Structure 1
Amino acid sequence: MRKSTFALPVVVIALVLLLSSIFIVDEREKALVLQFGRVVAVKEDPGLAFKIPLIQEVVRYDSRILSRDVEPLEVTPLDDRRLVVDAFARYRISDVTRFRQAVGAGGITIAESRLDSILRSQTREVLGSVSSNDILSSDRAALMLRIRNGAIAEARALGVDIIDVRLQSTDLPQQNLAATFERMRAEREREATDERARGQEAAQRIRAQADRTVVELVSDAQREAEIARGEADAERNSIFAEAFGRDEDFFEFYRSLTAYARALKGGNSSMVLSPDSEFFKFLKSAEGTPAPAPAPTTGAASN
């Protein structure tokens, strides 16, 4: 009975020591085994691990990619146009031993504080070497890469790998917004005035070109019309001359009929001619006697 009384506490103590010597490493973390504050083992693979009870302790660190928001900071680019930049970084603890040596018992809190200092310093250095237009343009991707590359070396001293750095927003300080907006509005108005002036100049040039083209086209058309008219008149005269040469009497008769048609039109005009005038040559009888004369009271042939 006395042996069992002493055996039970021993078993309990042994069980407690056994359980306290076993710990589990999760796949999302890395563990350090410390003995009196000194690193004696690194456990990076998930599963069961052992330590010496009461003498050794286990410190766990997250092995996943972590995110850190940097407090907004004011930077001054080359053109002295102050900007307020809000950035964040993604990082991962790559070397837990070095990380423990760098931050001590402070852990993630101390590491992120030192990481903020590194990122703020690199952000000011990189953005201060370019103009504000470069920061606000599509070139900001290259600037973020420069900030990341500049911070990598310093962050490795902490046992941390910086994976990415992003500028979330880039704004003007509140006190500079009104002045900046007014300057931007003035610049846009000046550009609009220049564009309107160039447009009016182009319109005048186009109208002048169109007017000159119209004059040239009309002139060419008139010239071609005159040429066609002259050729037609020449051809007509040639036909008349050929017809006159073939039968002079018929041509004279045709011309007389044309003259009758033009002279004896309806209207209030009248002509005073002698009945035996050459004008009435073809109005005489077939025997060569004149046609009956008009009434002696008028003494004229009227339309």
Structure 2
Amino acid sequence: MNRSVLILPLIVILIAAALSSIFIVDEREKALVLRFGRVVQIKEDPGIGFRIPVMDQVISYDDRIISIDMEAQEVIPNDDRRLIIDAFARYRISDVEQFRQATGAGGDAAIAMADNRLEQILRDKTREVLGSVSSGDILSTDRTALMLRIRNGAISEAASLGLTVIDVRLKRTDLPTENLAETFRRMVSEREREAEDERARGREAAQRIRAQADRTVIELESDAERLARIAEGEADAERNAIFANAFGQDQEFFQFYRSLEAYRGALQEGNTRLVLSPDNEFFDYLRSPSGAAVAQ
């Protein structure tokens, strides 16, 4: 019985020692096993791990993606228009041993320290990248290239902390309150200048169109006048040919017809006076058979 009394506590002690040597790593965590402050084991895969009780200490770190909201900061692009930038980043602990050396702590304290140091890195890179472009590029909807430059610039420095920067996003980009009125005035001036440029180009195009239209009208009128003169000449030639043919067939009738045309043109209604001698040949067809001119 005395032997049973001694064995039972020993069994309990062995069971307790065995249980204390086992630790479990969750799928959301990574773990370091420290022996007197020195890393002796890194457990990155989920499952059961073993340690030496009393001598070894297990420290767990979050293996999930961690978000960090940076405080709003003022940046000055290369066109000297100040902007207020509000951004956030996402990162992950990629090297727990390096992370332990950089922070010297575990748990929430290590995360808070990493957040502070990473935020300073990101703030410096944000000022560096956004200071090299214009405010128009920053305020545009397509800022993917700028965010990639900030992230890529922070990756190497974040690696010294055992961190991997996954993404950087600009949430808001605003103008300082005191600069809004001046900025709006400048934007209005720029829009007015662009509108005046458009109107000037429109006036220039209108002048070109009017000049082209005037030239086309002149060309059309000249061509029409030329064709009219040609037609008129051809008509005169045909008329003369007809007259000549008529004259050849009946000279007396032709002279009579021409005299009637002359009378029609000379003797108009109204106060028409002719000062001619009575025996002028103009009156040949106006005389009576007795030789006297017909009274009008």
| Interval containing the TM-score (normalised by the shorter chain) | 0.7 to 0.9
Q: Who is 2:69 aligned against?
A: 69
Q: Who is 2:173 aligned against?
A: 170
Q: 1:258 to 1:20 in 2, by over 3 A?
A: farther
Q: 1:206 to 1:256 in 2, by over 3 A?
A: closer
C-alpha distance in 2, partners of 1:61/1:125? 31
Q: Who is 2:250 aligned against?
A: 248
**Alignment-mate amino acid for residue 248 of structure 1:** D
Correspondence list, 1:97-246, <5 A: 97-105=97-105, 106-137=109-140, 140-245=143-248
Q: 1:240 to 1:4 in 2, by over 3 A?
A: farther
Deviates more, 1:230-239 or 1:155-164: 230-239
Contact 2:256 2:285 (C-alpha < 8 Å) held by counterparts: no
Deviates more, 1:102-111 or 1:9-18: 9-18
SS at match of 1:71: coil
Structure 2 unaligned segments of length 5 or more: list them. Answer: 271-282
**Alignment-mate amino acid for residue 170 of structure 1:** T
Q: Who is 1:284 aligned against?
A: none
C-alpha distance in 2, partners of 1:244/1:4? 168
Contact 2:259 2:285 (C-alpha < 8 Å) held by counterparts: no
Q: Deviations over 1:211-251 (max 9, x none)?
A: 33223322321221121121122123224323543x22696
Q: 1:52 to 1:258 in 2, by over 3 A?
A: farther
The answer as to 2:85 corresponding to 1:85 is: yes
SS at match of 1:133: helix
**Alignment-mate amino acid for residue 175 of structure 2:** L
Aligned Cα root-mean-square deviation (Å): 3.5
C-alpha distance in 2, partners of 1:125/1:252? 107
Q: Deviations over 1:44-69 (max 9, x none)?
A: 12222112233323222232333222
C-alpha distance in 2, partners of 1:145/1:233? 87
Q: 1:250 to 1:57 in 2, by over 3 A?
A: farther
The answer as to 2:19 corresponding to 1:19 is: yes
Report sequence identity in percent: 65
Q: Who is 2:40 aligned against?
A: 40
C-alpha distance in 2, partners of 1:83/1:231? 83
**Alignment-mate amino acid for residue 114 of structure 1:** R
Q: 1:250 to 1:25 in 2, by over 3 A?
A: farther
1:151 Cα deviation (Å)?
A: 1.5
Q: 1:258 to 1:33 in 2, by over 3 A?
A: farther
C-alpha distance in 2, partners of 1:128/1:220? 66
**Alignment-mate amino acid for residue 221 of structure 1:** A
Deviates more, 1:84-93 or 1:61-70: 61-70
SS at match of 2:100: helix
C-alpha distance in 2, partners of 1:160/1:256? 118
Q: Deviations over 1:139-183 (max 9, x none)?
A: 843333332232222111101122332222222111211221112
C-alpha distance in 1, partners of 2:42/2:244? 126
Contact 2:94 2:164 (C-alpha < 8 Å) held by counterparts: yes
Deviates more, 1:13-22 or 1:182-191: 13-22
Q: Deviations over 1:255-275 (max 9, x none)?
A: 48986xx79xxx99xxxxxxx
Normalising by structure 1, we get a TM-score of 0.76
**Alignment-mate amino acid for residue 156 of structure 1:** A
Deviates more, 1:37-46 or 1:111-120: 37-46
1:42 Cα deviation (Å)?
A: 0.4
Q: 1:253 to 1:50 in 2, by over 3 A?
A: same
